[in-house]
Structure 1
Amino acid sequence: MLRGSLYNAYGDKEKIFVLAFKRYHRQILATCRDALAHPDLRIALETYFEKLIALMTSIGEGAHTRGCLTTKTAADETAKGEMILGALRGLLDGMEVLLTERLQKAGKLPLAPQEGARLIVTLTRGLVIMERVYSEPARLRASAAALIDLLLKK
């Protein structure tokens, strides 16, 4: 397909990205929802982090780890249009909603469910950066385990 045909069919680069990102958004939220379904909160959170770490450390084209499309795009200075930022916010907010709902079912936690959810989402973004710098999945898992331990202390 020629560039002109692609743009005629879908619009500019930003619109094409947002269309592709919507598909990615649905897939990631489905993965998160499945991981968080376990009735035991500790196991649900461990599964959540394990699935996300597995995705970001899997090898893509060119023998490089995939990382995370959301975080890579957010860090890209050329990707600052409101349409793109809206798409990124939509995914991060969706993750936060899923986590908040799951944490609300857990009962007493050391912080409010929404605050815990936001902390988890923030750590997942940081894990992407740490993966890029260190390429050590064990280090990522240890950070996730530390946060889970903090959240579930009673």
Structure 2
Amino acid sequence: MLRLGQFVEKCMSSMQTGTQMLKLRGGSKGLVRFYYLDEHKSCIRWRPSRKNERAKISIDSIREVCEGKQSEIFQRYSDGSFDPNCCFSVYYGEHMESLDLVSTNGDEARTWITGLKYLLAGISDEDSLAKRQRTRDQYPSSC
């Protein structure tokens, strides 16, 4: 059995390797994108994207990570559309925008949910916030 620390490290490593997921949007069909956690663990990035440098969400801006099909966007799809175990939403920014993702399997979704929640918990920990700020000062172009 993996200890929590080992499990979280496994999640981080998997997130940094990246995952292909379906990004749901309002009225149109979803977009398949490759999502990954940047090397400093400070942003989620995706490609391909026309936004290029702006195709990212900083971990600091994430407010909440929700499992399943709870977001407004997921509600627009019929019940059988996606396996709830593969679905999750990342709420971020001042206006609580949502990034609604569908992974290919439940384990993948759980990896991202666990990893993101761990990173969020780290932000509220003053010590780690100071550490991350120092890292950011060393690598100013990271995010």
Give the TM-score normalised by the residue count of structure 1.
0.29
Q: Which has the higher helix share?
A: 1
Please tell me whether Structure 1 or Structure 2 has the larger radius of gyration of its CA atoms.
Answer: 1
| Bigger RCO of structures 1 and 2 (CA < 8 A, at least 6 apart) | 1
More strand as a share of residues: 2
TM-score with structure 2 length normalisation? 0.30
